[in-house]
A and B are shown apart, each in its own frame.
Chain A
Amino acid sequence: MTAGTGAPEDPDELYGRLKEFEGRAAATAGTGKDPVNEPMIRHWCEAMGDTDPAYRGPDAVAPPTMLQAWTMGGLSGHTDRSAAYEELFGLLDGAGYTSVVATDCEQEYLRPLRPGDRITFDAVVESVSERKTTKLGTGYFVTTRMDVRADGELAGTHRFRILKYTPAAAKRKTRGGGRNLRPRPVINRDNAGFWQGVAEHRLLIQRCTGCGTLRFPWLPGCNACGCQEWDTVEASGEGTVFSHVVMHHPPFPAFAADGAGGPYAVALIELAEGVRMVANVIGVPYDKVRPGMPVRLEFLRTEPELELPVFRGGEG
C-alpha cells in the first residue's frame, strides 16, 4: 500500500524527532484488565464463528489469536502506556497525523492461555518509518513489539504496526466542502458572454465583425485580422468528434456520472460551424467514442450551481 516517500525537497524534520523514540518503552508492566476467562473466550468464539472444541469445556484454552485482546484498554482506555508513547503520539497528532489504522500484526504463541491466567505485558517502540504516502493518506508507520506474560511466564509476543496519517479525504474536504466537485470555470470579461449563453442554453461562438471569422474559445481579438470588434452566432448544436483522449489516471470522481472516477472520454468536438471545443461525450461508453462520431449538444447540470455544454453521442 506504500506509494512513495516524502518529497526530497522537503526534508523531514519530524522524522528525526520521531526516530528518537525507537527502542523506548511503549508500555511498562501493563496488566490485563481481566484475567483470561471463559465468558470473554466464549464471546470471542461466537463473534468469530469458531467452534474449535479446544476453546470449550473444563480443559479449555483461549484461542491463541486472542493474545492482544487480553491487553486491550477497552472502553475505559489504556492506563499502561508510557510517557514516551504518549509523547510520540502527541507529536504525530500535533503535526496533523491524527488518524490511525492498523496494518500488520505478527504474533507468536509460546504457551496456551487458560482461564485464570493473569496477564501482564511490556511493549517497546521497535521502529518508526519515514513519511510514506499511501492510498489512505500520508503518515508514518509505527511498529511496537509486546511481550505478553501469563502469571509472569512469557506466553506470546505480539508485533503490531499502525499507520498514523492525515486522511487524504480530509484534505479534499477542506478544498471541496467534502464533496467531489468539478473545477469551477474561470469567468472574466473576455468570456462572460459565453457563460451567459450557457445559462440560457445557447452555445455562442464569437464572430469577428471585421472579417467574419468565427473563433472559439472566446478571445478579445480576431486571430485572422486582429480586429477587436465582434458579435456572436448561436451554434446549431450539431457536431462530430474530431479527436479524443481517455482519462484513466488519476481518478476524478466528479467527471464520471457513476462517481467511479473514470476512465472517461474527453473529446475535441468539431461544431457544424467549423470551430472546435473540448467537452465531455455522454451516452457512449468511453471506449466506444470514435473520431467522426456524430454528436449533438446538450446542457448538463452536474451540480446545483454548475451547468455545462456536453455532447451526446449518436447511435451507430
Chain B
Amino acid sequence: MKVKAGDELAPLEIAVTRTLIVAGAIASRDYQDVHHDAELAREKGSPDIFMNILTTNGLVGRYVTDRLGPSAVLRKVAIRLGAPNYPGDTMVLSGTVTAVADDGTAEVAVVGSNGLGRHVTGTVTVGVPQGAA
C-alpha cells in the first residue's frame, strides 16, 4: 500500500465496554485493581474502572496496521494519555500520515477521542513496503 504525507487514515470506532477494559488488562498482565474493580477504583477517586495504557497502546498499534495493511510493520509507538476511557464510552481513533521517508518508513499522528476529550495522542512509526511504483 502506497502512502504519502497528508493521507488520512479512515477512523476506527472502539466501543469501550467493561469487557474490553478487563480483557485488555488481563491480556496485558496488568492486575491493577483500577482496571477491573469498580469499587476499589472509586475509593481511589476514579468514577469507574478505566482502560490501562497497554490496551490503548495495543489498540493504537492495531489501528495503524489495520489501515496500512498486513505488510506494515510497527517500528515505534509513542503515546500520551489524557481523558480516561471509562466503560460505556466510545473511542474514535483517527490518523494522519505526517511524513514518508524514501525507504517507506511512515510517521502517523494518531488521536483517539472519547466523550470526555482526547484519550490518547501519539506518533506511530511504521515500515510500509512501497511495492513496485
B-contacting residues of A (Cβ < 8 Å)?
A: 1, 40, 43-44, 46-54, 63-66, 68-69, 72-75, 99-109, 112, 136-137, 167-170, 173
Give chain A nearest CB distance to B26 CB in angstroms.
8
- Choice from A53, A68, A100, A104 contacting B28 with Cβ under 8 Å: A68
Cβ of B59 within 8 Å of any chain A Cβ, yes or no, is yes
Cβ of B54 within 8 Å of any chain A Cβ, yes or no, is yes
Inter-chain CA distance A167–B34, complex, in Å, is 13
- A44→B75 contact, CB < 8 A: no
- Choice from A43, A101, A108, A136 contacting B75 with Cβ under 8 Å: A108
- A104→B70 contact, CB < 8 A: no
A-contacting residues of B (Cβ < 8 Å)?
A: 14, 20, 23-24, 26-32, 44-45, 52-55, 57-62, 65-66, 70, 73-82
Contact A102-B45, Cβ < 8 Å, known A72-B28, A75-B31: no
- A50→B81 contact, CB < 8 A: no
Residue of A nearest to B75 (CB): A109
Residue of A nearest to B20 (CB): A47
- A65→B20 contact, CB < 8 A: no
- A64→B77 contact, CB < 8 A: yes
- Choice from A48, A69, A101, A104 contacting B29 with Cβ under 8 Å: A69
Contact A74-B44, Cβ < 8 Å, known A52-B70, A106-B76: no
Inter-chain CA distance A63–B24, complex, in Å, is 14
- A46→B66 contact, CB < 8 A: no
- B57→A105 contact, CB < 8 A: yes
- B27→A46 contact, CB < 8 A: yes
- Choice from A52, A69, A137 contacting B66 with Cβ under 8 Å: A52
Top 3 nearest A-B pairs (CB, nearest first) are: A169-B45, A167-B45, A72-B29
- A167→B44 contact, CB < 8 A: yes
9 contacts between A and B (CB under 8 A): A46-B27, A47-B28, A65-B54, A69-B29, A72-B29, A74-B29, A103-B81, A106-B78, A137-B45
- B76→A105 contact, CB < 8 A: no
Inter-chain CA distance A136–B46, complex, in Å, is 9
- A105→B53 contact, CB < 8 A: yes
Inter-chain CA distance A40–B28, complex, in Å, is 9
- A47→B53 contact, CB < 8 A: no
- B45→A65 contact, CB < 8 A: no
Give chain A nearest CB distance to B12 CB in angstroms.
9
